Structure 1
Amino acid sequence: MKLFLFFASFLLCSTVYAQEVPARWDELTATDWQAALDKSSQTCILPFGILEKHGPHSPIGTDLIHVREWAARATKQEYAVVFPDYFYGQINEARQQPGTFALPAQLIYNLLEATCDEIARNGFKKIVILNGHGGNPEFIRFFMQSFLNKRHNYAIYFYDPENDPTFQAEYRKMHKSDMRGDEHAGESETSVLMYYRPDLMRMDRATSQSGADQKRLSLPGVYTPIWWYASFPNHYAGEGAKATADFGKFITDHEIASFIKVLKEIKADTTTIKLQDEFYDRVDNLGTSKQ
């Protein structure tokens, strides 16, 4: 009986310990590390935000706070290790605004590559980029295509959620402002921050600047890097004053659930790295009989 109680107690303690392994990289101890690798299936989330003006009412770290909370809440339900907040992305279009942290293009590329390499060196085979900034996707996709330029022993996944018609239908019903202009610090993004961090919001200032498209440049069929400034010199696009915390909860509940579903699939994935290795082998053997 005593032996049975000993083993029962040991198993219970082991289970509790496994459940208490922190998700955040910076909150783990070195002695937690192997347990975190095992529990996460060697999966690490890189929450990718930015530091930039978000209208006159929302914090400069809005995108960073968004992905931080998104990752934190998702990993409470589906464990993965979360890398410390990462804000070294593309934001040159907001350099005229206070608080913007914009680094040169080559530097942000090298920094992201070095960061992923270091995450992998610490035992992670899968890195999931969770992005919260609308100016990052083009850069991230270019980075990921360039990833194939040399052999890596890990895989990168960029979470790019699919359209959900049911969610979109309800979203349109709840949305109060013109959806065509709700792009940056507008109703939806402001609602998310009102739900996550109402203490940081300055909603009395939301109408102190215009978030309307100024339409100062018209060149159909042409892309120019000054397009955003031409349209939104205040770095504000939308009507943040129409935001609500309830709408924010609706948005975040859906995005957390959607990400958890994909995170489970990534943790179970055994194909991506195999295909990468096959690709690299064919590159290395190009022109030989092994090809």
Structure 2
Amino acid sequence: MKQFLIILFYFLPVSFETEAQEIPFRWDELTASDWQKALEKSAQTCILPIGILEKHGPHAPIGSDLIHVREWAARAAKREYAVVFPDYFYGQINEARHQPGTFSLPNRLVLELLDSTCSEIARNGFKKIIIINGHGGNPHLLRYFIQCQLERRRDYVVYFFDPAQDAAFNEKVKAMRKSDPSWDAHAGERETSTLLYLRPDLVKLHTATKESGANLNRLSLPNLYTAIWWYASYPNHYAGEGAKATRELGQLLTEHTVETLVNALKTVKSDTKTLELQNDFFEHVMK
């Protein structure tokens, strides 16, 4: 009898632990046997986190944008389950090719790779793909990509997480700022603050003043847009004052982004109308 109880207690914890385990939200951590559970639990929703590899001033990591989207996705998926695709760093970053660490692909390849990635995500059972972006040079590309979804019929929908301005929240941020927000655009106070909250071990704040993040204003073309505009203003690939960053500001910014993403996930998971309208559109296109 004693031996039987020993054997029973040996196996019980394993059984209870297995029952209590939650399936992972990361695509690469799921097992094939959990795939159907993940599809059901996520309402066939997958997050595609897109960043870039580029210089972030002299003090922040090359993969800062990837760190941001990775953390936003993870924190949101823990609260509102969705499957998170592995970090994706293929975007538009031609303007940083003169700086070390930049990974830039040809423009046609970038679009083709993104389209193929979404198609493969859908082939694996996902009907809803929500792109979250951490790179300031991507929004034009991503909006164009979204519009291209109407080029041909698809059995899935791609959404772009594009949060609106929140006036009340912006006032909170303004009260905590120590630098001029008008040129805080890349590796400055705002972005460095979020990194101090998420990955302080990777930020070398003491080096943030070794290069200038000021706008050089080397080009003036009113009412015109050119590809060289960023280099003309910020050749160091640094815009702002990273040295003025604080962890407290980073926490405020991050938690607001995650909360907004959680709400967006809830909306996407319950959305049935977008694909219905997309299908209706193609019924008319084919007439």
Note whether the superposition's TM-score is higher than 0.5: yes
**Other structure's SS at 1:127 match:** strand
Q: What residue is the counterpart of 1:202 in the other structure?
A: 204
Q: What residue is the counterpart of 1:238 in the other structure?
A: 240
Moved over 2 A (4+): 12-17
Q: What residue is the counterpart of 2:258 in the other structure?
A: 256
Where do 5+ consecutive residues of structure 2 fail to align? 1-15
Q: What residue is the counterpart of 1:189 in the other structure?
A: 191
TM-score by length of 2: 0.93
Distance 1:64 1:172 in 2: 25
Distance 2:224 2:276 in 1: 40
Cα deviations across residues 21-68 of structure 1 (Å, max 9, x unaligned)?
100000000001000000000000000000000000000000001100
The CA deviation at 1:109 is 0.3
Distance 1:156 1:115 in 2: 11
Q: What residue is the counterpart of 2:77 in the other structure?
A: 75
Percent sequence identity over matched residues?
A: 62
Distance 1:252 1:269 in 2: 26
**2:135 aligned to 133, 136, 145, which one?**
133
The CA deviation at 1:191 is 0.3
What one-letter code is carried by the residue in structure 2 that aligns with 1:86?
Answer: Y
Q: What residue is the counterpart of 2:156 in the other structure?
A: 154
**Other structure's SS at 1:108 match:** helix
Distance 1:137 1:165 in 2: 21
Distance 2:169 2:19 in 1: 36
Q: How many residues align?
A: 272
Distance 2:111 2:19 in 1: 41
Q: What residue is the counterpart of 1:174 in the other structure?
A: 176
**1:62 aligned to 61, 64, 84, which one?**
64
What one-letter code is carried by the residue in structure 1 that aligns with 2:25?
Answer: A
TM-score by length of 1: 0.92
**1:38 aligned to 31, 37, 40, which one?**
40
What one-letter code is carried by the residue in structure 2 that aligns with 1:120?
Answer: A
Where do 5+ consecutive residues of structure 1 fail to align? 1-11, 286-291
What one-letter code is carried by the residue in structure 2 that aligns with 1:16?
Answer: A
**Other structure's SS at 1:129 match:** strand
**Other structure's SS at 2:154 match:** coil
Q: CA RMSD in A?
A: 1.1
The CA deviation at 1:15 is 6.8
Q: What residue is the counterpart of 1:6 in the other structure?
A: none
**1:22 aligned to 24, 34, 50, which one?**
24
What one-letter code is carried by the residue in structure 2 that aligns with 1:244?
Answer: T
Match status 1:272 vs 2:237: no
What one-letter code is carried by the residue in structure 1 that aligns with 2:20?
Answer: V
Distance 2:121 2:168 in 1: 37
**Other structure's SS at 2:240 match:** coil
Distance 1:15 1:189 in 2: 40
